[in-house]
Chain A
Amino acid sequence: MASAIQLTDAVVRFPVENAIVARLRGRSPLSVTALDGVSLSVEKGSSLGIVGESGCGKSTLARALVGLVPLTSGRLEIEGQAVGVSRDPSLRRRVQMVFQDPSSSLNPSRSVGHILAELLRVHRLVPADAITTRCEELLDLVQLPHSVLGMKPRHLSGGQRQRVGIARALALEAEILIADEAVAALDVSVQALILNLLADLREQLGLTLIFISHDLSVVRYISHTLAVMYLGRIVEEGSAEAIFEECHHPYTRALMAAAPELYRLKEPGASALKGEPPSPINLPAGCRFAPRCPLRQQRCQEQDPQLTGDQADHRAACFYQDLVTADGGVHHNISVPGPSLASTAAASQHETAEDRSR
């Protein structure tokens, strides 16, 4: 199938000091490399999940895809058309973003009806007399009552506001929806409903979804393919099923080991990942995960690993990816034990608590 959106070798750098000051000091200005050679491609109608910790560049990636951040170098194609300096407004309209915090991304002094109608008017999407009908259709799509049209964002709950945020993106007849931590601020019961809505809309309207999150379980629920990012690079990519089945990068493994689970007691600190990511201003030579990697070898500090893999749909940027799965410390590979194991584990926790009190 054709790819809806394709990014090739994207680099985004942000200057962190004034260029003139740097020149006066006789050196080139310092910059942060937020994205460093990221390539990805999403098939039409499918969904890609992007996970990583804060500062890994996942939000910059999202903003670069919508055009909110210019690429320092690299190439972005939307449905085969290169997006360049002179952006075709209709091309831009097709990629829309759903933000994390709908209360700060919706105009607080306008009613929902006004917010939606303005978009339709500015982009001349429907004739003036059909605007109200279209607004009502949009609310139906995101399962909100029509009465919401007269309300201002502050009168709505967090979940309802996020639905308005989605309706706003759909108003522009978006084909590619980029959700940047769109459910992170919501309570779990509401989060479930918004995730279901996004999954339904994808199927119903044939949307392409790029879902960015720090939460592995959310990403697993919603995505077909998955990209794991670390310090501006994709370190592992492939079908979500394959990665959750058997990950090939030590960072992915650490993320999975660190994520708390409901029905399985893990030893806290099991991720074995010490410290925090290095500063993106002074990146280490070689593999940038090497300073924190439990599998680190001499070679990792000298050479920079590229994305490779045996299967076409599963690649990782690690020289020793075979060791990741061979290592017995892989937590998520144990077959799902169900609640019974959790109870015995918790029971033993009780015993230790009692032992202590004796």
Chain B
Amino acid sequence: MSAPTLLEVLDMSIVLGSGEHAVTPVSGVSLHVRRGEALGIVGESGCGKSLTLRAIAGLLPRNARASGALRFAVDGEHLVPYEPARVRSRGIAMIFQEPMTALNPTMRVGDLIAEPMRVRGVKRSSARERAIELMSRVGIPESARRARSWPHELSGGLRQRVMIAAALATEPQLILCDEPTTALDVCIQDQVLALLAEQRRERQLSIVFVTHDLAVVAQLCERLAVMYAGQIVETGATADVLRAPAHPYTEGLLKSAPSFDERQDRLSGIAGQPPDPRRFPAGCRFADRCRYAQPDCRAVDPALGELAGTAGRQTSCIHPELLGSGKAVAAGG
């Protein structure tokens, strides 16, 4: 049987601002992560993927309000509603895209890693020892010496490792990753991904990995959720989604990505822009850019539903049968 569910998000919406200026950049997002599973959330800038992640960690900006239910298996078995700020650094840890801005520049990296342990009452000397041990575990050479470095003295790859070590210091069950490899070179990205995969294997860590890069998700995550304009438009096993996307947006993303396996003659891209979160259109939010748009797409508010004949595949497209059928109609028609 599959592993128990560790985190569940039900029908979460996030509202920024209040009154008539309020916008809802994330609406009705539901997702779950099992123990030891890696879930990828993919989408383009502004689709709400980072906000969703921050809501799970309780790191929303001050003017944001999240609604919906968050449940986390604090004991590893039973899902209970939780207060994000209290679970953070006690079961859920987060790593960020920019290690330079996320690491406190006035603390030596050894102290940075030891701090969460100190907060939990570990003695200074043993916290320091453990920090050095963690640093060697994440592949930082000469960790005893490096523990006395300042964040600015380290390269981007090492900083990202320090951040991962600091996240692991609390022995979390779930790590939330917000584009942790986007700012890194491919070889360093490869090393960081290998490190995450190894930690996951070793301690049954669950991972939620937010990125715009489908290829990274294909390498790291067995399940995938695609977000567009604040909603999840498709979820399923990564391999199934990549092989046969069931939402036109996913298909568009896949056809836009150049490959170095073979030289393509033409990339398709997706014409137009995502809708303004202040004025989301009625019906399907992707309809204006969709090659397959039908008149009823703008009439019905699509909901994420099980794709017929599949297990665990969900799409919000009401005409998934049109995909790949060659029945494209002019975009915006």
> Chain A interface (Cβ within 8 Å of chain B)?
53-54, 157-159, 187-193, 195-196, 214-221, 240-241, 244, 254-266, 268-271, 273-276, 332, 336, 339-340, 342-343, 345-347, 349-350, 352-354, 356-357
Within 8 A of A (CB), among B1-50: 2-3, 34-37, 44-45
Tier of interface size on chain B: 35 or more
Residue pair A189, B45 in contact (C-beta under 8 Å): no
6 contacts between A and B (CB under 8 A): A190-B44, A214-B186, A258-B190, A276-B188, A353-B36, A357-B34
Closest 5 CB pairs of A and B: A269-B194, A346-B239, A192-B269, A268-B194, A357-B3
B185 at the interface (CB under 8 A from A): yes
With A and B bound together, what is the CA distance between A343 and B224 in angstroms? 14
B98 at the interface (CB under 8 A from A): no
Q: In the complex, what residues of B have CB within 8 A of residue A54's CB? A: 156, 185
With A and B bound together, what is the CA distance between A218 and B194 in angstroms? 23
Given contacts A269-B190, A357-B3, contact A346 B260 (CB under 8 A): no
User: Helix, strand, loop or mixed for chain A's interface?
Assistant: helix
Residue pair A343, B243 in contact (C-beta under 8 Å): yes
Q: In the complex, what residues of B have CB within 8 A of residue A195's CB? A: 258, 267
With A and B bound together, what is the CA distance between A260 and B238 in angstroms? 14
Residue pair B187, A262 in contact (C-beta under 8 Å): no
With A and B bound together, what is the CA distance between A59 and B258 in angstroms? 22
With A and B bound together, what is the CA distance between A54 and B187 in angstroms? 11
Give 5 A-B pairs besides A190-B269, A346-B237 with Cβ atoms closer than 8 angstroms: A157-B273, A195-B258, A262-B254, A275-B141, A346-B239
B157 at the interface (CB under 8 A from A): yes
CB-CB contacts of B161-202 with A at 8 A, as 1s and 0s?
000000000000000000000000111111101101100010
B266 at the interface (CB under 8 A from A): yes
Min CB–CB distance A227 → chain B (angstroms)? 16
Residue pair B187, A271 in contact (C-beta under 8 Å): yes
With A and B bound together, what is the CA distance between A256 and B259 in angstroms? 11
Residue pair A217, B260 in contact (C-beta under 8 Å): yes
Q: In the complex, what residues of A have CB within 8 A of residue B268's CB? A: 192
Q: In the complex, what residues of B have CB within 8 A of residue A244's CB? A: 260, 263
Residue pair A221, B267 in contact (C-beta under 8 Å): yes
Residue pair A332, B44 in contact (C-beta under 8 Å): no
With A and B bound together, what is the CA distance between A262 and B44 in angstroms? 17
Min CB–CB distance B135 → chain A (angstroms)? 15
Within 8 A of A (CB), among B252-273: 252-264, 266-271, 273
Residue pair B186, A357 in contact (C-beta under 8 Å): no
With A and B bound together, what is the CA distance between A187 and B270 in angstroms? 10
Given contacts A260-B193, A268-B197, A269-B194, contact A345 B188 (CB under 8 A): no
Q: In the complex, what residues of A have CB within 8 A of residue B237's CB? A: 346, 350
Residue pair A53, B190 in contact (C-beta under 8 Å): no
With A and B bound together, what is the CA distance between A216 and B186 in angstroms? 9
Residue pair A262, B259 in contact (C-beta under 8 Å): yes
Residue pair B263, A241 in contact (C-beta under 8 Å): yes
Q: In the complex, what residues of B have CB within 8 A of residue A260's CB? A: 189-190, 193, 213, 215-216, 218-219
With A and B bound together, what is the CA distance between A333 and B193 in angstroms? 23
B240 at the interface (CB under 8 A from A): yes
From A189, A254, A336, A349, B44 is in contact (CB under 8 Å) with A189
B88 at the interface (CB under 8 A from A): no
From B36, B190, B240, B256, A268 is in contact (CB under 8 Å) with B190
With A and B bound together, what is the CA distance between A158 and B45 in angstroms? 10
With A and B bound together, what is the CA distance between A209 and B145 in angstroms? 47
With A and B bound together, what is the CA distance between A126 and B176 in angstroms? 56
B67 at the interface (CB under 8 A from A): no
Given contacts A221-B263, A268-B190, contact A263 B242 (CB under 8 A): yes
Q: In the complex, what residues of A have CB within 8 A of residue B44's CB? A: 187-190
Q: In the complex, what residues of B have CB within 8 A of residue A266's CB? A: 219
> Chain B interface (Cβ within 8 Å of chain A)?
2-3, 34-37, 44-45, 141, 155-158, 185-191, 193-194, 196-197, 201, 204, 212-216, 218-220, 222, 237-240, 242-243, 252-264, 266-271, 273
With A and B bound together, what is the CA distance between A258 and B191 in angstroms? 8
Given contacts A217-B258, A220-B260, A350-B237, contact A339 B190 (CB under 8 A): no
Q: In the complex, what residues of B have CB within 8 A of residue A258's CB? A: 186-187, 189-190
Min CB–CB distance A331 → chain B (angstroms)? 10
Min CB–CB distance A82 → chain B (angstroms)? 35
Given contacts A265-B219, A353-B37, A357-B2, contact A217 B259 (CB under 8 A): yes
Residue pair B269, A187 in contact (C-beta under 8 Å): no
Given contacts A268-B220, A346-B222, contact A356 B269 (CB under 8 A): no
Q: In the complex, what residues of B have CB within 8 A of residue A276's CB? A: 155, 157-158, 188
Given contacts A195-B258, A268-B219, contact A187 B212 (CB under 8 A): yes
Given contacts A190-B269, A217-B259, contact A262 B220 (CB under 8 A): no
With A and B bound together, what is the CA distance between A195 and B194 in angstroms? 31
Residue pair B194, A220 in contact (C-beta under 8 Å): no
Nearest chain B residue, comparing its CB with the CB of A158: B45
Residue pair B2, A193 in contact (C-beta under 8 Å): no
From B2, B34, B238, B269, A196 is in contact (CB under 8 Å) with B269
Q: In the complex, what residues of A have CB within 8 A of residue B3's CB? A: 353-354, 356-357
From B196, B201, B260, B267, A356 is in contact (CB under 8 Å) with B201
Min CB–CB distance A181 → chain B (angstroms)? 13
Residue pair B261, A336 in contact (C-beta under 8 Å): yes
Nearest chain B residue, comparing its CB with the CB of A270: B190
From B155, B186, B214, B257, A255 is in contact (CB under 8 Å) with B186
From A264, A275, A345, B261 is in contact (CB under 8 Å) with A264
From A254, A265, A336, B187 is in contact (CB under 8 Å) with A254
Given contacts A188-B44, A265-B218, contact A339 B252 (CB under 8 A): no
Residue pair B256, A191 in contact (C-beta under 8 Å): yes
Residue pair B45, A188 in contact (C-beta under 8 Å): no
Q: In the complex, what residues of A have CB within 8 A of residue B260's CB? A: 216-217, 219-220, 244, 256, 259, 261, 332
Q: In the complex, what residues of B have CB within 8 A of residue A336's CB? A: 261-262
Residue pair B186, A349 in contact (C-beta under 8 Å): no
Nearest chain A residue, comparing its CB with the CB of B186: A258
Q: In the complex, what residues of A have CB within 8 A of residue B45's CB? A: 158, 187
